[in-house]
Structure 1
């Protein structure tokens, strides 16, 4: 659902968890006051206001310093990740739940202590209320200790190149698994852009972040239309790049509803756009291969991550959808050529003069072809040809060039794959089978 997608984007914001913890802190103090009516006024244990106030004062003063330090560390980590990896990867670090939960616990504990001290100073609590507040304070101290332990463990890796690559890989793998289960989001593949089809453009320029095929199907059924989605998530919608092509009598109301079925924003997201993750990984690799950094090991680490991602894509089983789902909505599938171009062309371009990187790319291509030879055969061969041409242009040491030529030639000519059209993997064929039924 469109609303669920937007809610998920809000929940991931760095301010969301601190806000929830702060609200929880205020609610805890209020609960301690109103719950006192459920307990008898005379209790065997009477916690003095000064004792609780002293504890809350210690918590408040220490948590203010800790929260400030944690936020400064987070800012430095985001800045370091932006400079050392890719600015597009910063969002994933900012969405790290461990870091967010730790900072939120510090902020929430600080606000709990401030509200508690104010309430105590105003005589807000009875003896029963003070007991409940004291118990809540002990719980808050335990939560803070746990948050400190998690934060100490987290700051040793947050923002580092290896950890950033892992986070991008995890987000990209999740997007590819979704595409493997539903390659066309439940739509069919036949072209709806028939003679006389009308283009529907976005009302503002931006990246398509999400679409609602169920809503498009509903519009098509009600107005007797056929809708072909041109802009999958990740496409930059402009006046020249429409959202959809519509065959049939299109009213202005239908145009508006079709636009509303797409979420268009300023930036790409990882959720439904698997190629974006590959783009970010390649930005990390390209920065590592620049002369100023000269870190081929990071580029090789990116190559290994891409192998794992594509292998998971090929081994993920298609999901099950009803045969009649979204039969009036179609879109183009992501092809192996699309994936291979995005995954390896930047690395091949920037690492063509490095023999270690070139040989690692050849090994990666061999592994990908072995995982799905009929799917990636042609795409692997084309990438190997591009690699060989660039290596011949950039490499000056003959033995290095011969090693790359041998590795690339084996990929181009192995089993005659380059001369045959690639077949589809079952994960890519599911929507076709469903349409045939």
Structure 2
């Protein structure tokens, strides 16, 4: 649903970027073409060498038999090509099965798996080698039947047939090794944690994307002109460099109103600008906002935390009842946020004309643990590690996050009073919380 005004552009050149999956497709097609041409080139290389090779008399019988030897390989090549073409749907089917395993955690984890370029790149390599090898074998059999090579070219037939088959076997072995990990449900959790850690690291490096913090000192003027959203959607990416370049060209300042991860509707102000710029300038400013139908983790650190929290909530649903997975997720979230608070935030201002709303630590911890204070309150084996995680974050050293963690502790206590049906469990939880607060 990304609009024409919101296409992703390269920060350095300003030219539109090729979508990642289209780039992977082009690479796969190029690789398949190379694999398909290789056996044919080897076959014709043998034919060229035949013109230069000596023909000793004592080898005359073998020399005359080489065309028949080449033609006799045709059934084998046909069989290998058919086997490779049958193997491609099997690879795709197992890949769909792996995505189904990820979908059982949460649909957003499945989207993370689909967006993972390593998985897509591995699949592209395997399929390109398989289809390229099958196509190359078909070329070889056609050349053998037509007799377009010299007799000595039959020496290269075995290599031209077995080479693609061997390449396909190696590719399938690599894919089978990858699937042993891909089909495991805990891979989805590991991928979600890795994505969340990467988003938090980028958030630490550039919390304001290089802009000026939008605060009481740099407030939005009352008469600032709005930059309307060209379509409804979620702010996926924000190109502050493009905003700075456009603002410097027009001699204006820009105040951003929506960070990545927030929803805007068509016509809503995505930003406001000083002065009275022309409509063309407003259109150029709108191009710096990439809008889409769903959130992505690139510039939204809350997204990865929300995905992990949803996975834990799903594990606690009546149909699953997997409290162990929920505890694993709580520990992952605790590690992520604690490590996040240990890193100093970068405050370098590279774009002085663009004012960005500062991020909220309270929003991060709410995205991570907010749903779990509700869904985990009725499970003592989940409520105890959840309280331990929140209690540790009250001592993280960041005032805003510490206050938010304390608020979530109080919410967990209130929810557990009614959610825990067994009085002994309530007393155990209250005793632990009381001891921690003394």
Give the TM-score taking structure 1 as reference length. Answer: 0.82
Distance in 2, matches of 1:334 and 1:107, equals 43
2:373 aligned counterpart, secondary structure: helix
Find the counterpart in structure 2 of residue 358 from structure 1. Answer: 383
1:156 aligned counterpart, secondary structure: helix
Q: How does 1:339-354 map to 2 (within 5 A)?
A: 339-354=364-379
2:235 aligned counterpart, secondary structure: strand
Q: Does residue 113 of the first structure (1) align with residue 120 of the second (2)?
A: no
* 1:105–1:143 Cα contact (<8 Å) kept: no
Equivalenced residues, count: 409
Q: Deviations over 1:226-245 (max 9, x none)?
A: 11222222121214743212
Distance in 2, matches of 1:405 and 1:241, equals 47
Distance 1:393 1:251, change over 3 A: farther
* 1:17–1:101 Cα contact (<8 Å) kept: no
* 1:63–1:106 Cα contact (<8 Å) kept: no
Q: Does residue 187 of the first structure (1) align with residue 211 of the second (2)?
A: yes
Distance in 2, matches of 1:212 and 1:345, equals 30
Distance 1:65 1:404, change over 3 A: same
* 1:49–1:120 Cα contact (<8 Å) kept: no
2:254 aligned counterpart, secondary structure: strand
* 1:22–1:111 Cα contact (<8 Å) kept: yes
Q: Deviations over 1:277-296 (max 9, x none)?
A: 11211221111111121111
Find the counterpart in structure 1 of residue 186 from structure 2. Answer: 162
Find the counterpart in structure 1 of residue 199 from structure 2. Answer: 175
Distance 1:136 1:391, change over 3 A: farther
| Counterpart pick for 2:20 among 9, 34, 50 | 9
Find the counterpart in structure 2 of residue 264 from structure 1. Answer: 291
Distance 1:205 1:60, change over 3 A: same
Distance in 2, matches of 1:125 and 1:205, equals 62
Which range moved further: 340-349 or 223-232?
A: 223-232
Find the counterpart in structure 2 of residue 243 from structure 1. Answer: 270
Instruction: Give structure 1 stretches of 5+ with no counterpart.
Output: 415-437
Distance in 2, matches of 1:244 and 1:133, equals 66
* 1:70–1:103 Cα contact (<8 Å) kept: no
Distance in 2, matches of 1:68 and 1:189, equals 52
* 2:199–2:301 Cα contact (<8 Å) kept: yes
Find the counterpart in structure 1 of residue 59 from structure 2. Answer: none
Q: Structure 1 residue 208: deviation in Å?
A: 1.6
| Counterpart pick for 1:22 among 27, 32, 36 | 32
Q: Deviations over 1:307-361 (max 9, x none)?
A: 222233234465695x5x1111011122110001110011111111111111111
Distance in 2, matches of 1:384 and 1:182, equals 30
Distance in 2, matches of 1:133 and 1:243, equals 64
Distance in 2, matches of 1:378 and 1:227, equals 32
Distance in 1, matches of 2:117 and 2:410, equals 40
Q: How does 1:307-326 map to 2 (within 5 A)?
A: 307-316=334-343, 323=349, 325-326=350-351
* 2:33–2:132 Cα contact (<8 Å) kept: no
| Counterpart pick for 1:89 among 91, 104, 109 | 109
Q: Does residue 79 of the first structure (1) align with residue 100 of the second (2)?
A: yes
Give the TM-score taking structure 2 as reference length. Answer: 0.81
Q: How does 1:271-282 map to 2 (within 5 A)?
A: 271-282=298-309
* 1:33–1:129 Cα contact (<8 Å) kept: yes
